[in-house]
Structure 1
Amino acid sequence: MRYVAATPTMPSLVAESAAEPPLVDSYLELLRRGGGGGGIAAATEGCVQERELPLIDLTCLQGSAGEAARTTCADAMARAASEWGFFQVTGHGVSRALLERLRAEQARLFRLPFETKAKAGLLNGSYRWGAPTATSLRHLSWSEAFHVPLASISGTACDFGELSSLRDVVQEVADAMSRVAKTVAVALAGSLLGHDEAAAFPAGCGETTCYLRLNRYPACPFAANTFGLVPHTDSDFLTVLSQDQVGGLQLMTDAGWVAVKPRPDALIVNIGDLFQAWSNNLYKSVEHKVVANAAAERFSAAYFLCPSYDSLVGTCGEPSPYRDFTFGEYRRKVQEDVKRTGRKIGLPNFLKHRPPPQSRPA
C-alpha cells in the first residue's frame, strides 16, 4: 500500500493496494505533464438528467406469443434502435442467480494482485487497464477489464489460474447472452428484411467470434465526473450489457448526455457500428461513456456480437452509403486511427462519398 501527497485536485491520502492497476500513477503523470486537457470537467458537462431506456419484454418474441405480438415487439425494438440506439430487455432468460454468481467471480478475479492479472496467459492474456498510452486525462479510463475471446474460454491455453469455478460461470453467461443477442439481432433485422430472410442474421457470427468483457470501475477519489470509460461507440453488431446498481453509464442524445437509470431485472442492449452500417444508418450506434463513482466500485459484463474478421458486413439493401468492408478491415482501421490521432473515426472512413475534412481552429 502506498500514499501520494495532496494536490489541489485530489484528497491528501490515496491508498492503493497491490490489486489495483497503476491508475493513480497515470493520473498524476498526466497532471504533471499538463495533460489534463479539461478531461476531468469534460466527463460530465453541466447537469445530466437520469432517464430510463425504452423497455422491451422479449417473451413477446416467443412462438407462443403469436405473430401480431412478435411484430409489435420487433417494431418497438426497431424504434428504440433508431431513436436511442439503446434499450433495455426483460424476459431475457438470463437468471439473476447466474449474474450474481458472475459478479462474485468478478470480484475474486479483480482482487488478484495487479502483476497476476497482467501476466500473459491469464484469461488468454486479455487483461487491460486504463489507457497506458493516454496523453490527456480525456483519454484515461478509470477502469480495468478482461476482454475475453469466447473461442478461448474452453481451450487449454486460456489460464484461469486458481479461479477454477470462473471458467464454467463465464461460459454459462456467454451462452445465455449469446441467445439474447441472437434473438434481438434477428428481430431487428426482420423489421427491415422480413422474418424469414433475417433468420440467419448476422452472417459470420458464431460461438467462436464473439467476446465477453468483464469490467471493474474502482472508486475514484480524485474528482467527480472522471471517465470510467471514455466516450466511444462499439465496433460490433450489438452489445448486451449486465450492470450492477451503482450506475454511471451515460449516452449521447439530441439533448446531450443522459444518465441511464439501472434496473435490476433488465439487460441493456445497444447498437454497434456494424449494425448501423448494415441498416444503412436506420439503426444508430450511439456514443456512450461511463462516469466513475467517488464512493463505490462498479462491475459490469458485456457480450459483443462480432463476426469473423473475414466476414463482409453487408447491407439490408441498396443503395448503401457505405462501401463493402470486412470486420477485420474495420478493426484494423480503428486501431490505426487511434494510434495516429488518439481517437476513433469509425464508420465515416467507409462512406462511398466521404465529406471533405473540416478545418479545426488553431
Structure 2
Amino acid sequence: MPAFAESGGGGAEPPLVESYLDLLRRGGIAPAEGRAAAAVEERELPLIDLECLMTATGDEARRAACAGAMARAASEWGFFQVTNHGVGGALLERLRAEQARLFRLPFETKSRAGLLNGSYRWGAPTATSLRHLSWSEAFHVPLASISGSACDFGELGSLRGVMQEVADAMSRVAKAVAVALAGSLMQAAAEAEAFPAGCDETTCFLRLNRYPACPFAPDTFGLVPHTDSDFLTVLCQDQVGGLQLMKDARWVAVKPHPDALIVNIGDLFQAWSNNRYKSVEHKVVANAKAERFSAAYFLCPSYHAPVGTCGEPSPYRTFTFGEYRRKVQEDVKRTGKKIGLSNFLKQQPPQPQ
C-alpha cells in the first residue's frame, strides 16, 4: 500500500490504514450485511431543469411543473439531480483545484485547531467496528466563519473567496428548491417564501470532502450509511462515482451527471412535510484506484429554531434543531448508530421483546 506509507509520519494522508488494521485486529471483517460493496444496479436519478426557478423568465405554469417534478422525486426517491442551477462549471473547477491543494497539506497541518475554524474530520477515530469507519476526510465549515477574520486559511488565501462564491451560489439553489418543495404542500405562497424558518447564511454549512483511493476496497465505506440531519443538501461531485442510496429496500448506485448537482431531502424536511418527502439512507463506497472529491451545502436552521410542520396533525412532537442534533449525538455515543426521527414521534413504536 505505497500510497499510504507516510500516513502516520508527516505525510498528507490521515491515519486511515492504521485505524483499519487496528479495527481489523479487534473486531474482524464486518459482517456481509454491513459491508460497503455489493452487486448494485446503477440508476439515473430524476433530472430536473431549474432554469425557470433560477431566473425571472419562467412563467407560472413552468414553475409549477418544475415544483411538481421535484415534489414527486422527493417523495419517491428522496434524491434528484438539477441542471441549469446557476452554479458555474468554471467556479466548481476552481473549487476542485482548491480542494486538491487543501487536502495535499500535511496531516498535522490539516488537523491543527485553527485551520478552517478547526473543522477538519477524518475517518472515525472513535469507531469500534469496521462498519463505523469512513475512508474519507473533510472540512465541515460553518458558513458564518468563511468570511470571518478568526477563520484561518493558512497559506491558501485564495480558498476563502472560492468557498464564499460556492456557498453563495449553492445557497440560492437550496433556497429556490426548498421554497418550491414547500409550496407544493402549502396553500399560501407567502408562507412558502419564508420557508425554512431560521435558516440563513449564519446557520448553514459547506463541507469539502475527499475520499482517498482505498487498498481495502470494495469492502470499505467511503462514508458510512446515514441520513442527513438538515432540511436539504446540495451536492457537487466529480465523475468517479461511489454514491449509493436506498431505493425500494435495495442499494442503488447513482450514475454521475457531468452538469448536474444532486439534491437530497434531510430529516428535518421529512418531519416538516409529515413524511411526504423522504430522507433516504445513503453511503459512499470506497474506490481502490481513484480518489474522489465532492462539496456539499447543508441547509440548516439555527439550533433554537423549531422545525415546525406543513400542517396538522403531525406525527412528530415539537422539537428544535438543537434538540435533534443532541439526541443524534447521544444515540451514536450510546449505540454506535443514529436513530433519528423515530425519537420524536408522538406515538412511539413498540419496543422489540
Q: TM-score range by the shorter chain?
A: over 0.9
User: Contact 2:27–2:130 at 8 Å: present in 1 too?
Assistant: no
Task: Give the alignment partner of residue 323 of structure 2, picking from 326, 329, 332.
Answer: 329
Residues of 1 paired with 2:140 and 2:4: CA distance? 28
User: Contact 2:45–2:80 at 8 Å: present in 1 too?
Assistant: yes
1:146-295 equivalence runs, <5 A: 146-194=139-187, 195-295=189-289
Gaps of 5+ in 2: none
Task: Give the alignment partner of residue 314 of structure 2, picking from 310, 313, 320.
Answer: 320
Residues of 1 paired with 2:285 and 2:167: CA distance? 26
Shifted more, 56-65 versus 16-25: the winner is: 56-65
Deviation at 1:226, TM superposition (A): 1.2
Equivalent position SS for 2:27? coil
Deviation at 1:35, TM superposition (A): 4.3
Deviation at 1:196, TM superposition (A): 3.0
Deviation at 1:38, TM superposition (A): 2.1
Residues of 1 paired with 2:102 and 2:255: CA distance? 27
Equivalent position SS for 1:65? coil
Residues of 2 paired with 1:27 and 1:142: CA distance? 9
Deviation at 1:169, TM superposition (A): 0.3
Task: Give the alignment partner of residue 132 of structure 1, picking from 125, 131, 150.
Answer: 125
The match for 2:59 is: 66
User: Contact 1:123–1:159 at 8 Å: present in 2 too?
Assistant: yes
Computed over aligned residues only, the root mean square deviation of the Cα atoms, in angstroms, reads 1.4
Gaps of 5+ in 1: 1-10
Q: 1:39–1:147: structure 2 CA closer, same or farther, 3 Å change rule?
A: farther
Equivalent position SS for 1:239? strand
Deviation at 1:262, TM superposition (A): 0.4
Residues of 2 paired with 1:203 and 1:39: CA distance? 42
Equivalent position SS for 1:157? coil
Name the aligned partner's letter for residue 74 of structure 1. Answer: A
Task: Give the alignment partner of residue 25 of structure 1, picking from 18, 22, 25.
Answer: 18
Name the aligned partner's letter for residue 191 of structure 2. Answer: E
Residues of 1 paired with 2:317 and 2:293: CA distance? 38
TM norm structure 2: 0.96
Overall identity of the aligned pairs, in %:
82
The match for 1:54 is: 46
Q: 1:57–1:128: structure 2 CA closer, same or farther, 3 Å change rule?
A: same
Residues of 2 paired with 1:13 and 1:316: CA distance? 50
User: Contact 1:248–1:290 at 8 Å: present in 2 too?
Assistant: yes
Residues of 2 paired with 1:20 and 1:42: CA distance? 23
Name the aligned partner's letter for residue 157 of structure 2. Answer: S
Residues of 2 paired with 1:292 and 1:164: CA distance? 31
Deviation at 1:215, TM superposition (A): 0.1
Residues of 2 paired with 1:295 and 1:275: CA distance? 36
Name the aligned partner's letter for residue 57 of structure 1. Answer: D
Equivalent position SS for 1:193? coil
The match for 1:7 is: none
Over 4 Å off, 4+ runs: 11-14
User: Contact 1:239–1:302 at 8 Å: present in 2 too?
Assistant: yes
The match for 2:91 is: 98
Residues of 1 paired with 2:33 and 2:100: CA distance? 27
Task: Give the alignment partner of residue 136 of structure 2, picking from 128, 139, 143.
Answer: 143
Q: For this pair of structures, how many residues does the alignment match?
A: 348
Equivalent position SS for 1:19? coil
Name the aligned partner's letter for residue 15 of structure 1. Answer: A
Residues of 1 paired with 2:340 and 2:260: CA distance? 29
User: Contact 1:41–1:226 at 8 Å: present in 2 too?
Assistant: no
Residues of 2 paired with 1:68 and 1:35: CA distance? 57
Deviation at 1:15, TM superposition (A): 2.8
Residues of 1 paired with 2:219 and 2:70: CA distance? 31
Residues of 1 paired with 2:269 and 2:140: CA distance? 21
Deviation at 1:230, TM superposition (A): 0.1
Deviation at 1:80, TM superposition (A): 0.1
Residues of 1 paired with 2:343 and 2:28: CA distance? 28
